[in-house]
A and B are shown apart, each in its own frame.
Chain A
Amino acid sequence: MTQRMNHLLIFGSVAIVAWIIGTLLLVYFWPHLVNGIYK
């Protein structure tokens, strides 16, 4: 595996994990954030 592929693999894996975790966090916390603004 080339060095470039290694970097691409790390980048891609992290991006996908961050995407999943970020989506879950945003789904949970977005209503709290938005409603907090209007309190």
Chain B
Amino acid sequence: MASMTRTVLMYIIGPIIFAVIVFGALRIFNPAHSYTRTIVSDVVQGVLVGAGLSFITVLLILPNFYVTKVNGWTTMLGCGEPGSGILLRAACNVTFMGPINVAQEAMYWTTGNDGAGHTLSGAHDYRLHFAAGQLPPNNAFWSLTMGDAGNRPVPNPINRYSVSDRSGLVPNPDGSVDIYIQNTAPIGHESNWLPAPSGNFILWLRVYLPGQTVLNGEYKVPPIVQVS
């Protein structure tokens, strides 16, 4: 979902925006252009610049008014609900591309950064620590899914692409749960290992039939902490 936004931005919108900026700069700052202009070229270039600004406005600026970012995790409330408004609908479809459920059915969080704001990379080891009793509250199940920079599943020796409440996670003696997010298996903690690629990656947390504390925004997903 999010990878498609990145792909669109990177390969389609990006070059358009770059061309628009160069176009606009030439148009404004090159005096020689004044003498070769026609009304048609003014209009064509105006439309191109306006179109580029539209993409910037909708794909880069608009979602920022609606997303909630806590501990590096991005989520959005109100998606899919009737009457939520045309702007929120567009923002939801930019952030979570593709069909998604209403919050009462499922909540989604995504991140490409650790809690300190650094890009997640397989060059480092990370830990996601859920304090005792602080696993995502739900009436169905939750899962934490790994995706590479293109949001594709990451091949790994144990064929594990996500961890969830059904993965047999081993809690710590105090009842808390650590999830080890790293490229190589954590010695002694393999059961709680979510294999990461060697390059950059993103994470998705999904909670189905989320509990009330999720729905009212009280529940905060803990940050991803870089440990090495």
A: residues with CB less than 8 A from B are 2-4, 7-8, 10-23, 25-28, 30-31, 34-35, 37-38
Instruction: Judge if B62 is at the interface, Cβ distance under 8 Å.
Output: yes
Closest chain-A Cβ to B54's Cβ sits at a distance in Å of 3
A18 to B97, CA, bound (A): 25
Contact A23 B34 (CB under 8 A): no
Instruction: Judge if B51 is at the interface, Cβ distance under 8 Å.
Output: yes
**Chain A interface main SS type:** helix
Contact B53 A19 (CB under 8 A): yes
Q: Number of A-B pairs whose CB atoms are under 8 Å?
A: 94
Q: List 27 A-B contacts (CB under 8 A).
A: A3-B34, A3-B37, A4-B31, A8-B28, A11-B46, A14-B42, A15-B45, A16-B50, A17-B50, A18-B49, A18-B50, A19-B49, A19-B51, A19-B53, A21-B50, A21-B54, A22-B50, A25-B54, A26-B90, A27-B58, A28-B86, A28-B90, A30-B90, A30-B94, A35-B98, A37-B4, A38-B99
Residues of B within 8 A of A3 (CB): 34-35, 37
- Place the interface of chain B in its size category: 20 to 34
Known: A13-B46, A31-B92, A31-B93. 11 other contacts (CB 8 A): A2-B34, A3-B37, A7-B34, A11-B42, A18-B46, A18-B51, A19-B51, A19-B53, A21-B54, A34-B4, A35-B98
* Cβ < 8 Å to A, chain B residues 30-67: 31, 34-35, 37, 39, 42-43, 45-47, 49-51, 53-55, 57-58, 62
A33 to B99, CA, bound (A): 11
Contact A11 B27 (CB under 8 A): yes
Residues of B within 8 A of A11 (CB): 27, 42-43, 45-46, 49
Residues of B within 8 A of A18 (CB): 46-47, 49-51, 53-54
Residues of A within 8 A of B94 (CB): 30
Residue of A nearest to B62 (CB): A27
Closest chain-B Cβ to A15's Cβ sits at a distance in Å of 4
A28 to B87, CA, bound (A): 8
Contact B46 A12 (CB under 8 A): yes
